[in-house]
Amino acid sequence: MSAASLFIGVVSHTGTRFPEAQGPEGLAALLSAQLTDRGVLNSVVVDVTNRWDAAVDPISDEDVQGALSAQTKLEDEWSKYLRGNRPRGVKSTALSILRRGKRWWRRFAPPPTVMVERLLNIELAHTALLEAGVASGAQWILILEDDAFSGDVSDLADGLIDMMNSASVDVQFVNLSESFNIAELGIEPLLVPTPAEWKGSKDRNISSATRPVTNTVCAIAYRADFAQRLLGVYAGMPIRPVVPIDWKLNAALMHMHSSGELGEGSCWWVVPGPIDQLSMRDNR
């Protein structure tokens, strides 16, 4: 079998706090160079396009309220999905109450409409890059947001190459970011060890999820045929109410799991993730 190829897509915009992501010092460019040095076929596309035309289809105050309600509902559904057959605990109940309290308050102090417009542009950039990745013919597609960072790109390259080449066909996507740790996400009961080893220089474990789960969409590697199926699910979902792409992916995964399309072992996690999300850290 020939070595797996990789398409790297970067979601960014002209006003980003992380403009280096678009150039030669960005993670995508640095990773691409490491892959090329190792003989791995790869390509990079940086997307800075704002596709939503607010002049033609403006975002209204009702869109903002609809977005807030939709995310609150999705977060409750996700919490139930993560629990599975386990009873609802005190922490889960308290978080749901807090979400609904925050939702009530934001009826009177909503964010500006530009927030929803930005969410739409991020979503459209993600899907455009997935489409470009599928069209490229690469076996794997890595989508990075522009705040993705690796302190050891060589470690990332070595681990990623081995994983792309050795992962079983059941593995459809791999979470590579350390945006939240697994304790914060409450997914420890869903992760089980795999015989796979991280071949980079850092000490990391590769876990398999008993049902597909995500961190954020800051850094996810998708198998290309799965990306194509995911795009089909996205196409069947309404554009409004608007939710962050992180939550839209979660909604798609819940749908694909309930239909039997994604099951145990379809999702891998690298722990700790080799990619950090700078916007989640206090130093930026």
Long-range CB contacts for residues 60-63, cutoff 8 Å, separation at least 24: 60/113, 61/110, 61/113, 63/113, 63/116, 63/240, 63/241, 63/242
pLDDT at residue 95 is higher than 80: no
Long-range CB contacts for residues 55-64, cutoff 8 Å, separation at least 24: 58/113, 59/113, 59/114, 59/116, 59/117, 59/120, 60/113, 61/110, 61/113, 63/113, 63/116, 63/240, 63/241, 63/242, 64/110, 64/111, 64/112, 64/113, 64/115, 64/116
Dist. CA 85–CA 263, nearest whole Å: 16
8 Å CB contact between 45 and 7: yes
Under 8 Å CB-to-CB from 73, ≥6 apart: which residues? none
Q: Roughly what angle, to the nearest 10 degrees, separates helices 224-235 and 245-258?
A: 100
Quick one: pLDDT at residue 96?
67
DSSP 58: P
**For residues 55-73, average pLDDT:** 95
Return the closest-CA partner of residue 10 out of 145, 125, 107, 131: 145
pLDDT at residue 2 is higher than 70: no
Terminal CA-CA length for the chain: 43
> Would the pTM count as exceeding 0.85?
yes
Quick one: pLDDT at residue 90?
54
Under 8 Å CB-to-CB from 130, ≥6 apart: which residues? 9, 141, 143, 222, 227, 230, 231
DSSP 195: E
pLDDT at residue 266 is higher than 90: yes
Quick one: pLDDT at residue 176?
98
pLDDT at residue 103 is higher than 70: no
Dist. CA 89–CA 265, nearest whole Å: 26
**For residues 165-173, average pLDDT:** 95
Angle value at C-alpha 119, between 63 and 187, nearest 5 degrees? 110
**For residues 1-20, average pLDDT:** 91
Under 8 Å CB-to-CB from 77, ≥6 apart: which residues? 251, 254
Quick one: pLDDT at residue 89?
63
Dist. CA 64–CA 115, nearest whole Å: 8
Dist. CA 40–CA 6, nearest whole Å: 8
pLDDT digits (tens, 9 = 90+) for 228-264: 999 999 999 999 999 999 999 999 999 999 999 999 9
Rg, the chain, Cα only = 19
Q: Report the share of the chain in percent with pLDDT over 70.
A: 91
Token code pair at residue 280: 């989640």
Higher local confidence (pLDDT), 94 or 35:
35
DSSP 35: H
Cα separation values, 82 from 206, 250, 256, Å: 20, 11, 14
Domain 6-57+121-280 is of which CATH architecture? Alpha-Beta Complex (3.90)
Dist. CA 54–CA 7, nearest whole Å: 30
8 Å CB contact between 268 and 174: yes
pLDDT digits (tens, 9 = 90+) for 178-211: 999 999 898 999 999 999 999 999 999 999 999 9
pLDDT digits (tens, 9 = 90+) for 125-152: 999 999 999 999 999 999 999 999 999 9
